[in-house]
Amino acid sequence: MLKCRTVWKKLAPLARSSSTLCRQNVKRTGLNNGRIPTCVPAANMSTGPGGLGGDNLKYTIMVGAACVGSLTYAYFLLKGDQKRYQERIEEITTRSQRSSKEEAATVQSEPPAVEATQTEAVPESVPEAAPSPEEPSPPAAPAEEPAAPAEAAAPSETTAPPPAADSTPASLKVPSHTPYLLIGGGTASFAAARSIRARDPGARVLIVTDEPDLPYMRPPLSKELWFSDDPSVTETLRFKQWNGKERSIYFQPPSFYINSEELASAENGGVAVLTGKKVVHMDVRGNKVKLDDDTEISYDKCLIATGGVPRNLQVIERAGEEVMKKTTLFRKIEDFKSLDSVSRNAKSITIIGGGFLGSELACALGRRSTESGLEVIQMFPEKGNMGKVLPEYLSNWTTEKVKREGVKVISEALVKSVTCKDDKLEIHLKDGRLVKTDHIVAAVGLEPNVDLAKSAGLEVDSDFGGYRVNAELQARSNIWVAGDAACFYDIRLGRRRVEHHDHAVVSGRLAGENMTGASKPYWHQSMFWSDLGPDVGYEAIGIVDSSLPTVGVFAKATAKDTPKAATEKSGTGIRSESETEDTATSPVASVTPLPPVAHKDDYGKGVIFYLRDKVVVGIILWNVFNRMPIARKIIKDGEEHADLNEVAKLFNIHED
């Protein structure tokens, strides 16, 4: 009935138009021939000479042709509708049968008993592109991402243990094309994926990483994980923050991601992760990449977020395979697991390097040595810990702090050679000193991963390393770079390359926005932080180089001036996550007068300003927390300050 009504609606206008033409013709005939009345009988019109001749014959033929055409159109329309109806019925029947077979196969493949996983939502302060990582380690096959971005933004806590190392099935089909291709599975890549999905909810994003794990955060690998009381921490990869809350190092649970072979057909798009695969060649003109198994993937837009690889000392590399087997280059989850195992079995571990990573690991292992009897040695060429960052007086104070953690510190140590003798490593220093140890941890910096530069024809910065990008983090019209591998131009501080978590969050998020057409320049001053255990920590921003002139303003610390107290107050463990979104507009200085100067060796808390041409270009907040927006504004203003003691009042360091 509905089909007939539809056909009649289409034919009715044709019939009405034909009738109208006939009536108009009759009227015109009556007006042109005065001898024939306008109301001519119908018989005369049909049988007389005037009725069958001239224009009337043409109109009669037109009406007949219209009727025949309309009937023909209606016939084919009804026949086509019937055919489409039959095809639809067959498709629905086939789909139902296929779903029944898949459900039956799934039930047969499941184990007989499965424990239910309890999920508990934990509120966190989460940045737009890098949510608070409160998720479990990834199991094998990720499910489809929820359609609503707001739901995906809320990570969850689960008690499920992590799976085996490789979470990508061997038979997983690699998509041949993806609109958004992200090379690298670190913080910058994940932040970009979240940013792309926020601006384009239906986007299909593919992350390709050579690691066997889903995206995770690296800072806890050298910080909180070492202070966990859980003996199975290397398996769960869960830890307690300084504020006592428990979380996982993974950014999102596996349910956040979809299977890579389902990416192309996902109705609402999603984020898929291809683990254990490395991009070895990049064809910029053809918009495609080649993996290490010769698989090719084409893309519309691409992000390079390959991060970096740990540097090693040449003397260790030349020492041979036996020495290399007893050396750890600390960077990934597998490095944490390996070093944790070594620390429980070896009698002595030597850390070479006095920077952030070396000092953090030294304090972590030193704390463990008090219980296990492990000898922890730290050596570096500088005079004190973090000598390239902190002014000399504060570096010396930090060195004493590290020693109190149970670490034997050897300063001004230049390694001449390393040999293996009687299953022990012998480290020969250039001044003649000899150090014997069971294992070495080389923490001497990071080399940006620019392996794709040659095949892609991308420019590498000769001074700082990394891919040179413009203010929008673009290396080419449809290629962006973020994180450790990006060498960008800072409008305040010049060209730079930054190797810190907060920069990875910010640059990844900006790259994701620009990949969806935002065209925003990079202006944000990222921060970084380091903790020497739960009692001493600092946050820094800008250029912090001990070779620059510095001015430090200190005050006596209280019980709340520690990393532990700061996280208890803010509710976050990764302090940059809460700082990234904050802005300072008009900080108000404390009216409290400066107290008497504390003892010269008491550096409980304070602010250190780094100057270049009398302008503040870097700031360290020493055991001063939740004040980073103020520091960011001072650097952004780029003004000269006659009295930095007055500037220090903006941070309220003298208030209890």
> Is 18 within a domain?
no
Q: Using CA atoms, how far apart are residues 397 and 420, in angstroms rounded to an integer? A: 34
> Is 233 within a domain?
no
Give the rounded percent of residues in the chain with a pLDDT score beyond 90: 54
CATH of the domain at 549: 3.30.390.30
> Is 104 within a domain?
no
Confidence of residue 372 (pLDDT cuts 50, 70, 90): confident
Say yes or no: 544 and 640 in one domain.
yes
Residues 6+ apart with CB under 8 A from 410: 377, 378, 379, 380, 429, 433, 435
Say yes or no: 532 and 496 in one domain.
no
Say yes or no: 556 and 645 in one domain.
yes
> Is 455 within a domain?
yes
Say yes or no: 260 and 380 in one domain.
no
Say yes or no: 401 and 463 in one domain.
no
Using the 3D structure, point to which of 418, 446, 474 is the last residue of a domain.
Answer: 446
Say yes or no: 343 and 380 in one domain.
yes
In this prediction, residues 478-492 reach a mean pLDDT of 92
Say yes or no: 315 and 432 in one domain.
yes
Q: What is the largest CA-CA distance in the chain?
A: 136
Element of type H or E holding 611: strand 605-612
Give the rounded percent of residues in the chain with a pLDDT score beyond 70: 70
Q: What is the number of domains present in the chain?
A: 3
Say yes or no: 195 and 273 in one domain.
yes
Given a cut of 50, is residue 154 above it in pLDDT?
A: no
Say yes or no: 464 and 583 in one domain.
no
Given a cut of 80, is residue 129 above it in pLDDT?
A: no
> Is 248 within a domain?
no
Given a cut of 60, is residue 158 above it in pLDDT?
A: no
Confidence of residue 350 (pLDDT cuts 50, 70, 90): very high
> Is 460 within a domain?
yes
3-class DSSP state for residue 491?
coil
> Is 16 within a domain?
no
What are the structure tokens assigned to 150, written together? Answer: 């707001």
Higher-scoring residue by pLDDT: 14, 370? 370
Identify whether the C-beta of residue 650 lies closer than 8 Å to the C-beta of residue 587.
yes
Confidence of residue 523 (pLDDT cuts 50, 70, 90): confident
413-427 per-position pLDDT tens digit: 999 999 999 999 999
Confidence of residue 67 (pLDDT cuts 50, 70, 90): confident
Q: Which range, of 27-31, 143-147, 617-621, averages the lowest pLDDT?
A: 143-147
Q: Give the pLDDT confidence score for residue 123 in this predicted structure.
A: 35
Q: Give the pLDDT confidence score for residue 560 in this predicted structure.
A: 65
CATH of the domain at 352: 3.50.50.60
Residues in the chain: 656
Q: Give the pLDDT confidence score for residue 163 in this predicted structure.
A: 43
What is the pTM for the complete model shown?
0.71
Q: Scanning the structure block, which residue is given the tokens 């380690």?
A: 137
Say yes or no: 509 and 492 in one domain.
yes
What are the structure tokens assigned to 471, written together? Answer: 């203010």
Q: What angle do CA 228, 233, 238 make, to 5 degrees?
A: 80
Distance (Å) of CA 647 to CA 598, 631, 650: 18, 10, 6
**Domain limits for position 328:** 311-446
209-255 per-position pLDDT tens digit: 999 999 999 999 998 899 888 889 999 999 887 667 888 999 999 99
Confidence of residue 490 (pLDDT cuts 50, 70, 90): confident
Given a cut of 80, is residue 270 above it in pLDDT?
A: yes
Given a cut of 70, is residue 36 above it in pLDDT?
A: no
Q: Provide the CB-side half-sphere exposure for 644 (13 A, CA).
A: 21
Given a cut of 60, is residue 143 above it in pLDDT?
A: no
Q: Give me the residues paired with residue 529 across strands.
A: 539
Say yes or no: 388 and 293 in one domain.
no
Say yes or no: 547 and 491 in one domain.
no
Distance (Å) of CA 401 to CA 242, 416, 569: 19, 28, 25
Q: Give me the residues paired with residue 490 across strands.
A: 494
Using the 3D structure, point to which of 466, 484, 516 is the last residue of a domain.
Answer: 516
In this prediction, residues 468-485 reach a mean pLDDT of 95
3-class DSSP state for residue 505?
helix
> Is 280 within a domain?
yes
